[in-house]
Amino acid sequence: MRLLSLRSYVTVSATKRLRPLPSALASDNSKARVFEYAAPPLGTVQAYDEAVALLEKEQQRLAQEIASLENGATSKGDALETSESGAPKNDSRIKKLKVALGLTQLDKHWEFNGGRVDFDSLRKDPNSVEALTFEALKARRFETVLTPKIVKLADVHNLFVDAFPGKTRNLLKPAVNLEVNFQNTAWEACYGQPVPPNWALFSPKVTINTHSDKPKKYTLVLMDLDRQSLSSQSIHEWCHWLITDISVTNRLTIEPGSSPYLAPSTLDTANLTDASFHPSPPSAEPKLPGTVVLPYIPPHPANSNPRKTHRYLLTIFEQPEGKSLDISLEAIRSEAIKNQSSSIQNRAAWEKDFLGEKEEAMHFVERGAFSTWGFATQHQLNVAGYAFFTAGWNLHTPDIFTRLGDLYNACASACGIYPKKTGIHEPVFGAFPQNPTDQVHKVNQATTNAVNLLGDSLLSSLSLSQIQLLNRGTVPIVPRFKLPTRSSIKADAMKAVWAERIAAKTAAAAAASSGKAPKGGKKAAGKSAARQVSAAIKLTPKMPRLTTVGSVAVVKAKQTDVAGGSMVGEVTKSVFEKRGRYHNV
């Protein structure tokens, strides 16, 4: 323990300088910077000199013990048995000592703390001493830094109330390091970061680190904790992904893949308005470990007013030793229908939620029939680790509803033959006014506008003025031609000046973010970073949102959706069938 504290002191005592990320570790568009640690000269700090002397003494002791073991003698001087090839049988002991020796080297700590370790290249040879050394540093960081952060934010997001009832933050500390990353993220841990739904079209890369050489079986469950229900008018859990019997020894990576229920997009999604990133399909489908009970379905939170953010919880459960899980979807389905048939308030809404042709193919009834903690209790599972992210509706979500449920043949897709996209029904949740006459007419006009504006295009390709037209639900106004006047010419000139100023500020902010760190220490660097962030927020246009009127209009504009065509709600029907429906009659 004394050696660990001294090593930590030496690491903290070193000064830090910002420098650009090396090209080997940075992507083409990356502007990230890392910390470069510089040790003080010997003789300037007495505590540092004494700590370095103790570390050198420990390094000499470990080096002598390694040499004695490699020469065939134990630390007690006894003869060491060797195999037929002449190699010592205690290679694991030697490797552990070499890892301990690596942990006493300050350059390893500075390289790790500075973010300059390329773990992808190290994992090509996971049993090398260097890889094991950095994995040990990563395990220590997970235990001391990331675990408290995960537990604290899980408590803030009410996971111990909604997903793990009756448990406290002290009882559910994750023992397994769970890394969850999508195509454009590089998180050490996932603890509530916001993820737009279009980022999660394809399953994430999941890395399970048990830090144990003992093989164990685990179950992976991804749940939406805030899915709204039309039939029960409440919120319940809904399973997006379920894999059982995942055998893990020390470390396992589940590579990202696509969903079998997500039809490919026939439109160009690379250069969409307000789309900062759109993932590309994986080049090849990975071989998933264990038994896939419910394949991956991407998050698709419904539009609601007031706006609701959904929590997506990915939990790793440890299975009982030596046992495999036998999960019957037919039993789950029959039990769910039996329980729901007696408590359904709106039979038509329930059938719309669960019993459509595509909903049946994607097992909607089974996915919504169990909860995280109920599943763990039923199968006697223990929580080993968890990660969670958040997502809300955006302009790309309607396209996900349209693409879901359209199963396709891989060969036909490779040849460019796509099925006619029909998708599943997209619900919209919002408060309806007590006098709905004006609201109904706005929805009908907005639906007409949506049909004329969208066509075969995506919602995210519309301009801000077009989205505002959908939200208002009014007849489009054709602007009249106006002759130029002195006032209009002056106004146009002022607009041009303001546009030039905004462009200059944007260029200055970009130059400042890519430049070197400012002088003046941490305080000046923090102020400069804060200014850059605030400037970027002010200059970055927000993605427009749809109101309840606009959202309903977009859903009704889909020709094959159950909300369009001849099917109308009870409120709409009463508005158009009652006598004296017009104000002037």
Q: Is residue 533 part of a domain?
A: yes
What is the C-alpha radius of gyration for the chain, rounded to an integer number of angstroms? 30
Q: Is residue 223 part of a domain?
A: yes
Query: What is the number of helices (H) and of strands (E) in the chain?
Result: 21, 13
| Residue 413, CA distances (Å) to 22, 265, 266, 416 in order | 39, 10, 10, 5
Nearest Cα residue to 116 out of 39, 188, 33: 33
Q: Does residue 71 carry a pLDDT above 90?
A: no
Which residue among 117, 151, 174 closes a domain?
Answer: 117
- On whether both 9 and 86 belong to a single domain, the answer is yes
- On whether both 314 and 283 belong to a single domain, the answer is yes
Do the bridges between strand 382-391 and strand 191-194 make them parallel or antiparallel, or are there none, so unpaired?
parallel
Of all residues in the chain, the percent with pLDDT exceeding 90 is: 15
- On whether both 151 and 90 belong to a single domain, the answer is no
- On whether both 438 and 406 belong to a single domain, the answer is no
Whether 18 contacts 516, CB under 8 Å: yes
Of all residues in the chain, the percent with pLDDT exceeding 70 is: 70
| Calpha distance 374→383 (Å, rounded) | 12
- On whether both 473 and 532 belong to a single domain, the answer is yes
- On whether both 336 and 187 belong to a single domain, the answer is yes
Q: In 157-304, which ranges are continuous DSSP H helix?
A: 159-162
pLDDT in tens, 439-483: 888 888 888 888 888 877 778 778 888 888 888 888 887 777 777
Do the bridges between strand 251-254 and strand 205-209 make them parallel or antiparallel, or are there none, so unpaired?
antiparallel
pLDDT in tens, 226-274: 998 776 677 889 999 999 999 998 889 999 998 888 888 766 555 554 4
**Res 550: pLDDT:** 87
Domain with residue 184: its CATH number is 3.90.280.10
- On whether both 403 and 455 belong to a single domain, the answer is no
Q: Can you give the residue range of the structural domain that contains 262? A: 142-414
- On whether both 108 and 160 belong to a single domain, the answer is no
| Residue 98, CA distances (Å) to 94, 105, 140 in order | 6, 11, 17
- On whether both 171 and 234 belong to a single domain, the answer is yes
- On whether both 365 and 501 belong to a single domain, the answer is no
Who wins on pLDDT, 438 or 432? 438
| Residue 144, CA distances (Å) to 109, 138, 294, 352 in order | 15, 10, 34, 48
Q: Is residue 427 part of a domain?
A: no
Domain count, the chain: 3
Q: Is residue 122 part of a domain?
A: no
Q: Is residue 134 part of a domain?
A: no
Q: Is residue 190 part of a domain?
A: yes
- On whether both 148 and 264 belong to a single domain, the answer is yes
- Count CB-CB contacts under 10 A for residue 103: 20
- On whether both 355 and 315 belong to a single domain, the answer is yes
**Res 23: pLDDT:** 45
Give the mean model confidence (pLDDT) for residues 373-399: 90
Q: Is residue 128 part of a domain?
A: no
Which residue among 414, 446, 465 closes a domain?
Answer: 414
pLDDT in tens, 130-143: 888 888 888 888 88
